[in-house]
Amino acid sequence: MLWWSRLYVIFLIGIVNLCEGSGKVRLVDVTTLTLYRDKYTTGRRSSPIPQIQCVGGSANGKFEPRVVQCYNRGYDGVDVQWECKAEMGD
């Protein structure tokens, strides 16, 4: 009878592990990110921040694109390499 209870516990641990990992997406598997000027990030562990935010440079505050698209161009073993494009206004 003891081995049945051990088997049951192992089965439950396996089911819990399977269910926890099902909602995760690896960044290396993401092909495209689309970011919007007036939208905020969402996440379980951090506060929302703007998806697009100018943080410096000579154009700071002069132009902020409405939409930015970023494409996954590969993985170097450490980080995903992104190429981002936006339509610039006149």
Q: In the chain, how many domains are there?
A: 1
pLDDT score for 26 = 87
| Separation in Å, CA 90 to CA 5, 63, 65, 87 | 70, 10, 11, 10
Q: What pLDDT sits at residue 49? A: 92
Digit-by-digit pLDDT tens for the chain (90 residues) are 565 556 555 655 666 555 555 577 888 999 999 999 999 999 888 899 999 887 777 877 677 889 999 999 999 989 999 999 998 775
CA dihedral 46, 48, 52, 55 (to 10 degrees): -60
Domain presence at residue 20: no
Please indicate, yes or no, if residue 89 is contained in any of the structural domains.
yes
Nearest-angstrom CA–CA distance, 39 and 52: 8
Supply the pTM of this predicted model.
Answer: 0.66
Answer yes or no: are the C-beta atoms of 41 and 52 closer than 8 Å: no
Q: Give the per-residue pLDDT at 21.
A: 57
Say what the pLDDT of residue 55 is. 79
Any domain includes 9: no
| Structural domain containing residue 32 | 25-90
Is residue 37 within 8 A of residue 65, CB to CB? The reply is: yes
Contact at 8 Å (CB) between 80 and 27?
yes
In a domain, 73, yes or no: yes
Q: Evaluate whether residue 19 is within a structural domain.
A: no
pLDDT attached to residue 40: 94
Domain assignment present for residue 17? The answer is: no
Q: Determine, yes or no, domain membership for 15.
A: no
Residue 10 lies in a domain: no
